């Protein structure tokens, strides 16, 4: 069989793997590419997926980086079944509409600028109508209920412990009388996180495609995370400021409410400090969580059995409308604001950061992975200022980074999960991670477990041979889709510009002291950005 990596290859978004067997052509996940402008250009290439020729799609979980291009595939002609768990189906019913609305609004915003420049308008990647057409194609599957979506293809979903309804997928492909087993980990869950169960165990596979988001590090334990969140709350409460928490609408927001509930029960959440869940999607997702207690872990079930509600607080306020959201920043005094998106690159959270990032009494708490090129990543890395809605703002708020809330397995947890496999000849293919972390994890897997490891590349094509080696169909098609960057030219150009600036120092020194200080500050900002680039290498 052949597999093509259409996303989540040396990146953490856009998960999509297209498998071609002698009897079927199908995809595992169909996610939105998120990050910088170059990464997001990939969302416009849905024709390269050839959706009309896909027989079916398997979905690991509801997060948009695994599902966000489904309406685009439907728009391009896909009309087959989409298989997933019941909670995933319910979450996608609201998430895809929300994503479509964002695509429409972003296109409208861009077209206003384009029309003023006399440029033709752009169409959104997809619209709400496409999301609505996607929903009837969804089919729900229970954990452990094997089924055959095509001749020679058997599928089994097992609990991945990442978010409500998340799954890793077992695939048995029969070709020419031989059967090959492939496992797609999806996003593997962090052990002992709130609400969801721990990941299921698996022992046999010929090929394992495994995520590697935290391949080079581990998470702090949950008790530390609870203490760190309490510290952030105390910091702003004592100063009369707001605690701003960028959080993904699904799972992370619900975990935060649960955590605040634990702090409340422990007397560490001030009784007069309002908590705002400022995300219509998160509010709707919380209700879906309530509708599926059968997927909760034992601790959460026991709490609910005893009459407690870990998804509620006496001072919790839901803000559905734009007016209610805007009113939060017009109120004085301390408050906790949970809003999307989790990487601070879209949605209402940008407005809350704009109103609070420059205030010394405020705090910003990051509780999840921050992708390269996102505002969240820049703030976590210590940026002195940040641009929001075209306005450059000084960072005076205290920045907290709490890793224990992650829904992804840390390095040790991935290795422990791998240790349950009893398949000495298994080949491991790492996906959904950044190159630095993947290299570290690959070395650890080889050293501790002895498995051969391959790190997938974007649009790479591999033949998976029963009991044999991985055989590249082509070395890589990256050169076609991602032209090599001429770094030598860029650096020479930068050196030339700095030399030109040095040659004009007499003119600089002839200006007023105030003008010189402004030029100095701008040059210091450029140098700071270069230092930040170097630190990420």
What's the pLDDT band for 475 if we cut at 50, 70, 90? low
Whether 259 has a pLDDT exceeding 80, the answer reads yes
Q: What mean pLDDT is predicted for residues 418-431?
A: 96
**CA 178 from centroid of its chain's CA atoms:** 37
What's the pLDDT band for 477 if we cut at 50, 70, 90? very low
**CA 95 from centroid of its chain's CA atoms:** 14
Q: Which of 404, 332, 329 is nearest to 366 (CA)?
A: 404
Q: What mean pLDDT is predicted for residues 299-308?
A: 93
Q: What's the pLDDT tens digit per position in 371-383?
A: 777 888 889 988 8
For residues 522 and 286, the model is more confident at 286
What's the pLDDT band for 476 if we cut at 50, 70, 90? very low
For CA atoms 408, 313, 232, 220, the dihedral sign is: negative
For residues 522 and 313, the model is more confident at 313
Contact 161, 199 (CB under 8 A): yes
Calpha distance 458→455 (Å, rounded): 10
Calpha distance 352→241 (Å, rounded): 12
Whether 478 has a pLDDT exceeding 50, the answer reads no
Alpha-carbon distance values, 90 to 30, 78, 332 (Å): 17, 21, 37
β-bridge partners, 364: 244, 399
C-alpha count within 13 angstroms, C-beta hemisphere, residue 31 = 29
Whether 479 has a pLDDT exceeding 70, the answer reads no
Whether 370 has a pLDDT exceeding 90, the answer reads no
- The predicted pLDDT at position 342 comes to 85
β-bridge partners, 2: 20, 463
Coil, strand or helix: which one is 451?
coil
Contact 152, 24 (CB under 8 A): yes
Q: What's the pLDDT tens digit per position in 188-203?
A: 998 888 999 999 999 9
Q: What's the pLDDT tens digit per position in 448-469?
A: 999 999 999 999 999 998 876 7
Q: What's the pLDDT tens digit per position in 74-130?
A: 999 999 999 999 999 999 999 999 999 989 988 998 898 888 889 999 899 999 999
Q: What mean pLDDT is predicted for residues 267-279?
A: 95
């Amino acid at each position: 069989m052949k597999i093509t990596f259409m996303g989540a290859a040396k990146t953490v978004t856009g998960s999509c793997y297209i498998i071609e067997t002698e009897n079927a052509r199908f995809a595992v996940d169909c996610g939105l590419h998120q990050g910088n402008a170059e990464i997001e250009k990939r969302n416009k290439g849905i024709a390269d997926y050839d959706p009309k020729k896909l027989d079916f799609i398997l979905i690991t979980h509801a997060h948009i980086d695994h599902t966000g291009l489904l309406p685009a595939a439907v728009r391009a002609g896909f009309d087959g079944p989409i298989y997933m768990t019941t909670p995933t189906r319910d979450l996608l019913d609201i998430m895809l509409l929300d994503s479509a609305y964002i695509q429409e609004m972003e296109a409208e915003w861009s077209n206003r600028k384009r029309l003023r420049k006399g440029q033709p308008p752009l169409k959104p990647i997809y619209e709400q109508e496409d999301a609505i057409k996607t929903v009837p194609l969804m089919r729900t599957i229970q954990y452990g209920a094997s089924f055959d979506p095509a001749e020679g293809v058997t599928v089994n979903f097992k609990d991945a412990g990442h978010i409500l309804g998340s799954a890793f997928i077992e695939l048995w492909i029969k070709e020419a009388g031989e059967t090959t087993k492939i496992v797609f980990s999806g996003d593997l869950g962090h052990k002992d996180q709130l609400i969801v169960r721990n990941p299921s165990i698996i022992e046999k596979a010929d090929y394992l495609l495994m995520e590697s988001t935290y391949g080079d590090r581990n998470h702090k334990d949950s008790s530390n995370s609870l203490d760190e969140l309490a510290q952030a709350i105390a910091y702003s409460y004592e100063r009369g400021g707001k605690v701003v928490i960028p959080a993904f609408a699904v799972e992370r927001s619900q975990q935060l409410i649960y955590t605040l509930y634990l702090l409340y029960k422990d007397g560490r959440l001030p009784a007069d400090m309002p908590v705002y869940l400022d995300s219509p999607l998160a509010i709707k997702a919380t209700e879906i969580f309530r509708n599926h207690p059968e997927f909760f872990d034992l601790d959460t079930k026991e709490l609910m059995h005893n009459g407690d509600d870990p998804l509620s607080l006496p001072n919790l306020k839901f803000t559905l409308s734009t007016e209610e959201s805007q009113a939060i920043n017009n109120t004085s005094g301390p408050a906790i604001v949970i809003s999307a998106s989790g990487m601070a690159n879209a949605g209402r959270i940008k407005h809350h950061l704009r109103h609070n990032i420059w205030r010394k009494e405020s705090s910003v708490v990051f509780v999840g992975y921050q992708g390269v090129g996102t505002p969240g990543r820049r703030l976590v890395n210590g940026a002195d200022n940040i641009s929001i809605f075209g306005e450059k703002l000084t960072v005076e708020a205290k920045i907290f980074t709490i890793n224990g809330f992650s829904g992804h397995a840390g390095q040790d947890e991935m290795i422990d999960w791998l240790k349950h496999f009893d398949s000495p000849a298994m080949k491991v293919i790492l996906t959904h991670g950044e190159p630095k972390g993947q290299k570290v994890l690959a070395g650890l897997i080889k050293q501790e477990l002895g498995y051969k490891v391959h790190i997938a590349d974007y649009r790479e094509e591999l033949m998976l041979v029963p009991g044999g080696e991985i055989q590249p169909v082509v070395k890589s098609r990256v050169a076609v889709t991602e032209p090599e960057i001429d770094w030598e030219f860029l650096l020479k150009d930068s050196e030339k510009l700095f030399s030109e600036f040095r040659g004009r120092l007499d003119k600089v020194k002839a200006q007023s002291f105030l003008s010189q200080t402004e030029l100095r500050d701008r040059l210091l900002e450029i140098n700071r950005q270069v230092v930040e680039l170097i630190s990420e290498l």
